[in-house]
Amino acid sequence: MVAEASGSSRTRVLFVCLGNICRSPLAEGVFEHLVREAGLAEEFDIDSAGTGSWHVGEPPDTRASMVAREHGIELQSRARQVTAEDLSDFDYVVAMDRENLRSLERMAETTDATAEITLLRAYDPDPDGDEVPDPYYGGVSGFENVYDIVTRSCEGLLTRLRALASR
């Protein structure tokens, strides 16, 4: 796999949303699941973080955990805030929406960032937009929708990273 930024032989991927309790831990869990299913667990380091600090230390939202569990995925992470170091420690920093993308890009301007910073939906083979909607203020159906978007997009991201590694 491609792993320039960290100097490691492992590809490091960080998923980022606002509070790190809904979308990014779901993306982290889905991507970890896909990587394990592909037999590539030893080739990746996967994490998630939020641009905000409101939920630091908290587990994922119970609705996100419930939807993930219904699909055979356990969300194990605890919320943390993204740091400037993350932008050079990770090879790929993947934002859930444009607001978080802009926050990451502003942070990158003032650091020695080497990570490729992108939107997760850039890898969605069937996009109906470029953002993963924030399900926090809605019901479980919003989390199901996010799960579907995240799964398609993470499959596309893994396909891209595997193609880059085979070059």
Q: Could you list the active site residues?
A: 17, 23, 134
Q: Which structure tokens are listed for 109?
A: 């301007």
First to last CA, the chain: 10
For the chain, give me the number of helices (H) and strands (E)? Answer: 5, 4
Ordered DSSP codes for 40-72: -GGGEEEEEEESS-TTTTPPPPHHHHHHHHHTT
Q: Compute and round to an integer the Cα radius of gyration of the chain.
A: 15
